Chains A and B, each alone.
Chain A
Amino acid sequence: MDVRFRIAADGTSLDETGLKFDLNDFDAWAVEAALRLKEKAGQGEVVAVSLGPDSAQETIRKALSMGADRGVHLKTDRVPFDGFAIARALAGALNGGDYDLILFGKMSPDSSNGIVGPIVAELLDLPCVTAISGLEINDGRGTARRDIEGAQEIMEFPLPAVLTIDEGLNTARYPSLKGIMAAKKKPLEVKPVDLGETAVTVQKLELPPDRAAGKIIGEGAAAVPELIRLLQTEAKVL
């Protein structure tokens, strides 16, 4: 699915006509992680929280159909670009919620900042480990693995905590038909929230310049000398 984005007339937002929104991969792995922890513990509750306009409810229903117990829709008129504003609204709603773990995807593929989880953690003064690809929870303490450049950090932290999820932690389940039916009856609470001030504003969106059209220089090993010549003289990378 090669989506071509269009810039809306205001020049600062996307034309959403024809775009379909779905739970992104990182968030799906976060939901999966929560479900597995609950299944392993044999008790507990998984709450799916999303912020945005009414379309956010579809995302919450997806999480409910995977197995989350209930949903909370933090209703705004739009999803702001500024992750800090999102984090502030989330922290307000999560404060006092008595959660053992607050899980996030490591970033959203649309605004691509990856800041909401750690900012929520700071605002709630909770320990936080970001971009984890391994997780063990035992007796109120956790151990998480973080893939960093050329190495892995093994982090320890006490619960309650905030974690953000990277690829590799798990494979998200597909909702079963039964799950999809059950999700329709699960509670979904709608709470209007105020995003407040934002320090970060989009001034302009533009499509990136196209790369120069691709060029096939030849076929098979016979093309290798020409490639070497181009890498040396034209691209100057060899």
Chain B
Amino acid sequence: MANIFAYAEARGGELRKVALETVTAARNLADQTGGEVHALLVGAMGIAAKAQQLGEHGADVVLVCEHAAFTQYNPEASAALAAERIKSGGFRAALFATSAQGRDLAPRVAAKSGVGIVTDVTGMELSGDTVIVKHPINIGKVIATVAIASTPAIVALRPNTFTPTRSSKAGRVENIPAVGDPSTARVVVKDLKTGGGGKLDLAEAPVIVAGGRGLKAAENFKLVEELADAFGNAAVGATRAVTDDGWRPHSDQIGQTGRLVSPELYVAVGISGAVQHLAGMRTSRTIVAINKDKEAPIFKVADYGIVGDVFEVVPALSAAVREARKGH
């Protein structure tokens, strides 16, 4: 009857998509243990309004902590609160997302709780009382099956891997106080600088259009942006060569030292497919590659490859995608 803890990530008063993924994954585990899902939601005053959505994705209990010092991500106060709840709850597993926030928070909570942790998890099951996870290592070239013997096991899930599913639960809200005074944390977010409004993030976008050196110059990246616009639900990514040359910010880089992504559709434009790049995107469900060199390694992983000049193919594809989506 062990319960499962889920950290429901929010930013700027809104739930992140990974919050629903985390709660859904927790629901699946709790259905195996016969226990409840307890989701923790922290934020500024008013965040409680988002609790219902967590219930709709399988949370039996939503623990809500509202405090002005949670307006921005507050790593120390969030970790203290999560560790406190975990200690008191008898949880088999505590789930987080392997997002920027989750990557930062989950190990802090593991340290405070003195329990085992694995991040970037792509699969999870119970074997008796032990949580067994799948975790890619060595830039995705090897998959480790890892047992976490502690109670709870702390698991941070790879974004876009566990699909949010509705399973209506009570989502009973319990307002809880912070641990200590969150406004006295040593590490504080002084400023949050957001990029272009409404742009989809690489971790959350169902479609990614990524560009490489084959685009020849920074200004030609508009071809990639136009194709992303045509899809309407796409984020823009880049190779390391492109970010190193300053055509795009480092945060757009997909690959070994950048972002690891698993979208439904990945469109590689003018990308040769260096192993370091493939490490960041090879788990994408469908891969399309457009490159003038038919020997380029990207074609070895592409479900659909087009050999050709990106300056000819990509505008034609953008127009065709726009046309195809009109019917929707």
Task: List residues of chain A with CB under 8 Å of any chain B CB.
Answer: 1-5, 7, 14, 25-26, 81-84, 87, 109-115, 117-119, 121-123, 127-131, 133, 143, 146-158, 161, 166-168, 198-208, 211-221, 223-225, 227-228, 230-232, 235, 237-238
Contacts and interface: CB of A to CB of B under 8 A. Distances in A.
A14 B142 contact: yes
Q: Secondary structure at chain A's binding surface: helix, strand, loop or mixed?
A: mixed
If over half of B's interface residues share one DSSP class (helix, strand or loop), that class is named, otherwise mixed; here it is mixed
Nearest to B298: A214
19 contacts: A14-B138, A84-B110, A149-B201, A150-B195, A150-B201, A154-B193, A156-B188, A167-B253, A167-B258, A208-B282, A214-B302, A215-B303, A220-B306, A220-B307, A220-B308, A221-B312, A223-B313, A224-B306, A227-B304
Nearest to B148: A200
B87 to A, nearest CB: 14
A225 B187 CA distance: 53
B256 interface: yes
B28 to A, nearest CB: 21
B288 A200 contact: no
A237 B195 CA distance: 27
Contacts of A4: 141
A61 B316 CA distance: 53
B192 interface: yes
A231 B187 contact: no
B275 A146 contact: no
A217 B119 CA distance: 37
B170 interface: no
Contact of A115 (B117, B191, B202, B321): B117
A150 B199 contact: yes
Contact-residue size bin, chain B (C-beta under 8 Å from the other chain):
35 or more
Contacts of B206: 237
Contacts of B305: 214-217
Contact of B104 (A26, A131, A149, A158): A131
Contacts of A83: 107, 117
Contacts of B256: 25, 109
Contacts of A235: 265, 285-286, 303-304
Contact of B190 (A82, A84, A156, A204): A156
Interface of B: 11, 16, 72-73, 75-76, 79, 99-101, 103-104, 106-108, 110-112, 115-120, 132, 135-150, 153, 186-195, 199-204, 206-207, 231, 243, 249-251, 253, 256-258, 264-265, 275, 282, 285-289, 294, 298-309, 312-313, 316-317, 320-321, 324-325
A198 B143 CA distance: 20
- In order of increasing CB-CB distance, the 4 nearest A-B pairs are A199-B116, A122-B111, A168-B250, A148-B100
Contacts of A224: 306, 313, 316-317, 320
Contacts of A127: 76, 186-187
Given A167-B250, A207-B141, A220 B302 contact: no
Contacts of A225: 320
Contact of B145 (A112, A119, A204, A217): A204
Nearest to B297: A2
Contact of A119 (B111, B150, B188, B308): B111
A4 to B, nearest CB: 8
Given A2-B275, A119-B107, A223-B306, A151 B192 contact: yes
Given A115-B110, A119-B111, A200-B148, A221 B308 contact: yes
